[in-house]
């Protein structure tokens, strides 16, 4: 079963615009991570936010976490064509032995 659900499923924007993706999850978490996947290849870790954190930045990325609403958002500022990829949120399962991924948001950035 999937813990996280990303929204929207697909997003198309122009270069320079900001892209916002949302993730909702069902059970309590220790942390939440965001990954990027290019063209069905391996996933690349973007950022990890712990349950006691509310916001985190990494370069052009900003992640927020609202544990009361069981939701997170990923903001990519000043998007580039190279940001075109699928983005997944992932949380740990209750046993702490696995990451549980959502279905992902497919981002398309056109120049």
Partner 1 sequence: DAGVTQSPTHLIKTRGQHVTLRCSPISGHKSVSWYQQVLGQGPQFIFQYYEKEERGRGNFPDRFSARQFPNYSSELNVNALLLGDSALYLCASSPEGQGPYNEQFFGPGTRLTVL
Binding site for partner 1 (CB under 8 A): 1-2, 4, 30-31, 33, 35, 40-45, 48, 88, 90, 92-93, 95-104
* C-beta separation of 14 from 110 below 8 A: yes
Nearer to partner 1, 41 or 111 (CB): 41
**In the chain, what is the straight-line distance between the N-terminal and C-terminal CA atoms, in Å?**
37
Least gap, CB of 14 to partner 1 (angstroms): 25
Cα(14)–Cα(81) distance, rounded to whole angstroms? Answer: 8
Nearer to partner 1, 18 or 51 (CB): 51
Nearer to partner 1, 33 or 79 (CB): 33
Edge-to-edge, what's the strand order for the sheet holding 19-24? Answer: 5-7, 19-24, 71-76, 61-66, 55-58
Least gap, CB of 111 to partner 1 (angstroms): 26
Using only C-alpha atoms, what is the Rg of the chain?
13
Least gap, CB of 45 to partner 1 (angstroms): 5
């Amino acid at each position: 079963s999937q813990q996280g659900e990303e929204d929207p499923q697909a997003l198309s924007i122009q270069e320079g615009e900001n892209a916002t993706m949302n993730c909702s999850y069902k059970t309590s978490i220790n942390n939440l991570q965001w990954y990027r996947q290019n063209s069905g290849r391996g996933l690349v870790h973007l950022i990890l936010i712990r349950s006691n954190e509310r916001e985190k930045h990494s370069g052009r990325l900003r992640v927020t976490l609202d544990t009361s609403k069981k939701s997170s958002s990923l903001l990519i500022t000043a998007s580039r064509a190279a940001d075109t990829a699928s983005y997944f949120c992932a949380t740990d399962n209750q046993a702490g032995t696995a990451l549980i991924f959502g279905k992902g948001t497919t981002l398309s950035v056109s120049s």
